[in-house]
Every structure is written in C-alpha cells, then in structure tokens.
Amino acid sequence: MSLFAAPLAHPVAWWVTAALISLYHAVRAVLNQRHWLDDENKRRGAANPPLRPWSLWERIVIHQAHDFLFHIVCCMSGFLAAYVFATISDGLTDLANIGVGTAILMSFLAVVAVAGVAGVLPPLLMYGKLWGRIPG
C-alpha cells in the first residue's frame, strides 16, 4: 500500500487524525494570539496618547475565536485535499498519460494538502507568504 492510499484504506483513522491535528493547530493559533496580544497591549499602553488595552472579551471574540476556527478550517482543507488527491490517484491507470487539467489539479491539491496539514495555509492565505515576519 502506498502512502497515497492511506486515506482510502483507513478513512476513520484518517479523519480522526485530521481532527486531532486540526485541533492542535487551532490551540497553537490561540496561544500565539495570546502572546501577540500581550505584546500588543504593552505597545498600546506605551503609545502617545496611551490606548486602552484589549480586554479579555475583546481578545477572545476579535482575535482568538477567529484564529481558532480559521486554523481548523485550513487544516481540515489540507486533509480534504489529500483525500481528494488520493482518490484521484487511485483512479488513474497510467500516470504518464494524464491530461494537463488533471496534472494541474493534482499539483494544486498537493500544495494545499501539504500547506494545510503543516499549518502554514492560514498565513499563506492571510498574508500571501509561507514564512517570515508576519505584519502586526
């Protein structure tokens, strides 16, 4: 069995793994937001004139809930792209004779799958880059 056939051979294990990794990326995003907002509150207090720091309610509703859901959706999109890639790969009989459209679709699915599962799809979508300093 190839690596590409794993989602099709064990779909329950695949989606349970997808849910756990998505939850990990979502919790990681909330913790990153907490760290970033602590620094932001220090800058807001040092501004001239001083700005009111973010309250706990504002932190949760404006920043952390959005990041939590956005990272879950992006990670699950990566797993779904990998699942579709495996389904298409399973149906191909000859890789040398696939059409251009199929090749482009599979390339796109591969990039989305790797970026989504790795947790870099959210910054790629929000800022247009995979790594480096994120504006803020």
The token pair that represents 54 in the structure block: 């973010």
Tell me which of 133 and 10 has the higher pLDDT: 10
Residue 106: inside a domain = yes
The structure tokens listed for 51 are: 């700005």
* Model confidence pTM above 0.85: no
Q: Mean pLDDT, the chain, as a whole number?
A: 85
Position 17 scores a pLDDT of 92
Considering 8-22, 42-56, 122-136, the range whose residues carry the highest mean pLDDT is: 8-22
What's the domain range around 96? 3-127
**Distance from C-alpha of 24 to C-alpha of 117, rounded to nearest angstrom:** 11
* Cα–Cα distance measured from residue 92 to residue 122, given in angstroms and rounded to the nearest whole number: 31
Q: Is residue 19 part of a domain?
A: yes
Angle (CA) 106 111 113, round 5°? 90
- The residue written with tokens 């979502």 in the block is 26
Task: With a cut of 70, say whether residue 59 has pLDDT above it.
Answer: yes
Is 135 among the domain residues?
A: no
Query: Ranked by mean pLDDT, which of 17-31, 54-68, 93-107, 122-136 comes out on top?
Result: 17-31
Q: Is residue 15 part of a domain?
A: yes
First to last CA, the chain: 45
Domain for residue 83, yes or no?
yes
Number of structural domains the chain divides into: 1
Please check whether residue 133 lies inside any domain of the structure.
no
Residue 95 lies in a domain: yes
Listed in sequence order, the DSSP H helices in 51-99 are 56-58, 65-91
Answer whether residue 134 is part of any domain.
no
Share of the chain above pLDDT 90, in %: 39
